[in-house]
Structure 1
Amino acid sequence: MFEVFKKQLKLQWRQYLAASLASYGSLCTGMSMGWTSPVLPQLRGPNSPLPRVPTLQEESWIGSLLVLGGLFGPFITVPLSKYVGRKWIIMGSNVPLLLGWLLAGVATDLPTLYVARLAWGCATAMQFATVPLYIGEIAEDKIRGALSAFFLLFINIGFLLAYAIGPFTSYWGLTACGGILSLFYVPFTWMLPETPFFLVYKGQYDQASDVLQKLRGGSKEQVEPELEGLKAMVTREFKVEPKISDLWATRGNVKALGICIFLAMLLQLSGIDVLLFYMEELLAKVGTKISPSDGTIIMGVVQVVTSCITPMVVDRLGRKLLMWTTSLGLTIFLFLIGIYALMDNYYGYNVAPVAFIPLLCLIVYMILFTLGVGPVPWILVAEMFPVKTKCLASGICSGMCWLAGFIWTRFFRDVAASYGIYTAFWILAVCCGIGFIFSITLLPETKGKTFDEIQDMLNNR
Structure 2
Amino acid sequence: MENSDPNDRKRKSDTVFLYFVLCTANVLQFEYGCCLVWTSPVIPQLQSPDPEVNPLGERITTFQISLLAGIPPLVMILAPILFGKLPDVIGRKNTMIGISSVFLLANTALSFGSHIYVYYAGRSVIGLCMGLLMIVLPIYLNEICEDHNRAKHGCLMMFFIPLGSLYGFLVGAVTTVEVFTLLSTMPLIPQLIVFCLVLPESPYYTASKGEKQTTISILERLRSNKSSEEIEEDYNHIETTLKSLSKSEKGTWKDILRSKASRKGFIIGLGSCLSTQMSGIPVIMSYMGLIFNNARTNMSGNAVSILVGSVKLFFYFVTMNIVERLGRRPLLIFSSAGCGISLGILAVYLYLNDVDSPIIDNIRWLPVVSILVYISSLSLGLGSIPTAILSEFFSDDLRSVTTSSALIIVNFCIFILTTAFPILSELWGVHYCIGIFSISCFFSFIFLFLMFPETRGKSFLEIQEILMK
Q: Which bracket does the TM-score occupy, shorter chain normalised?
A: over 0.9
1:196 to 203, 225, 229: 203
2:395 to 364, 386, 389: 386
1:282 CA drift (Å)? 0.9
Secondary structure of 1:68's partner? helix
1:139-158 to structure 2, matched below 5 A, reads 139-158=145-164
**Structure 2 equivalent of residue 133 of structure 1:** 139
Q: Deviations over 1:5-57 (max 9, x none)?
A: xx955x43222221111111111121122111111111122121113111011
1:80-229 to structure 2, matched below 5 A, reads 80-190=86-196, 191-217=198-224, 218-229=226-237
Q: Deviations over 1:34-93 (max 9, x none)?
A: 111111111122121113111011111111112112112213442222211111111111
With over 3 angstroms needed to count, the CA separation of the structure-2 counterparts of 1:307 and 1:249, relative to structure 1, is same
1:96 CA drift (Å)? 3.0
**Paired residue type of 1:196:** P
Q: Matches of 2:391 and 2:35 in 1, distance apart?
A: 25
Q: Matches of 1:386 and 1:8 in 2, distance apart?
A: 25
Whether the 8 Å CA contact 2:332–2:448 is kept in 1: the answer is yes
2:467 equivalent to 1:458? yes
Structure 1 range deviating more: 205-214 or 229-238: 229-238
Whether the 8 Å CA contact 1:336–1:361 is kept in 2: the answer is yes
Secondary structure of 1:142's partner? coil
Whether the 8 Å CA contact 1:133–1:382 is kept in 2: the answer is yes
Whether the 8 Å CA contact 2:79–2:128 is kept in 1: the answer is yes
1:347 CA drift (Å)? 4.6
**Paired residue type of 2:230:** Q
**Structure 2 equivalent of residue 4 of structure 1:** none
1:298-309 to structure 2, matched below 5 A, reads 298-309=307-318
1:356 CA drift (Å)? 0.9
Whether the 8 Å CA contact 1:66–1:120 is kept in 2: the answer is yes
**Structure 1 equivalent of residue 36 of structure 2:** 33
Q: Deviations over 1:246-270 (max 9, x none)?
A: 2112111101101111111221111
**Structure 1 equivalent of residue 81 of structure 2:** 75
1:44-443 to structure 2, matched below 5 A, reads 44-45=47-48, 46=50, 47-190=53-196, 191-217=198-224, 218-239=226-247, 241-443=250-452
Secondary structure of 2:187's partner? helix
Whether the 8 Å CA contact 2:250–2:398 is kept in 1: the answer is no
1:146 CA drift (Å)? 0.7
Whether the 8 Å CA contact 2:85–2:400 is kept in 1: the answer is no
Secondary structure of 2:358's partner? coil
2:18 to 15, 19, 23: 15
Secondary structure of 1:48's partner? coil
Q: Which runs of 5+ in 2 are unaligned?
A: 1-10
Q: Cα RMSD between the aligned structures?
A: 1.6
Q: Matches of 1:270 and 1:290 in 2, distance apart?
A: 24
Secondary structure of 1:287's partner? coil
1:274 CA drift (Å)? 0.7
**Structure 1 equivalent of residue 3 of structure 2:** none
**Paired residue type of 1:243:** T
Q: Matches of 1:249 and 1:98 in 2, distance apart?
A: 41
Secondary structure of 1:140's partner? coil
**Structure 1 equivalent of residue 6 of structure 2:** none
**Structure 1 equivalent of residue 7 of structure 2:** none
Whether the 8 Å CA contact 2:111–2:179 is kept in 1: the answer is no
Q: Matches of 2:302 and 2:180 in 1, distance apart?
A: 14
**Paired residue type of 1:443:** F
**Paired residue type of 1:162:** G
| Aligned residue pair count | 453
Q: Matches of 1:188 and 1:352 in 2, distance apart?
A: 53
Q: Which runs of 5+ in 1 are unaligned?
A: 1-6
Whether the 8 Å CA contact 1:267–1:401 is kept in 2: the answer is no
Q: Deviations over 1:367-421 (max 9, x none)?
A: 1111100122123312111221111111112222211111000001222111111
1:453 CA drift (Å)? 2.1
Whether the 8 Å CA contact 2:338–2:377 is kept in 1: the answer is yes
1:237 CA drift (Å)? 2.6
So what's the TM-score if we normalise by structure 2? 0.93
Whether the 8 Å CA contact 1:288–1:359 is kept in 2: the answer is yes
Q: Matches of 1:15 and 1:232 in 2, distance apart?
A: 23
Q: Deviations over 1:266-307 (max 9, x none)?
A: 211111111111111111223322122211111111111112
Whether the 8 Å CA contact 1:129–1:394 is kept in 2: the answer is yes
Q: Matches of 1:169 and 1:321 in 2, distance apart?
A: 41
Whether the 8 Å CA contact 1:303–1:370 is kept in 2: the answer is yes
**Structure 2 equivalent of residue 445 of structure 1:** 454
Secondary structure of 2:186's partner? helix
With over 3 angstroms needed to count, the CA separation of the structure-2 counterparts of 1:347 and 1:51, relative to structure 1, is closer
**Paired residue type of 1:150:** L
Whether the 8 Å CA contact 2:308–2:372 is kept in 1: the answer is yes
Point out the structure with the larger helix share. Answer: 1
Q: Matches of 1:425 and 1:349 in 2, distance apart?
A: 21
Secondary structure of 2:298's partner? coil
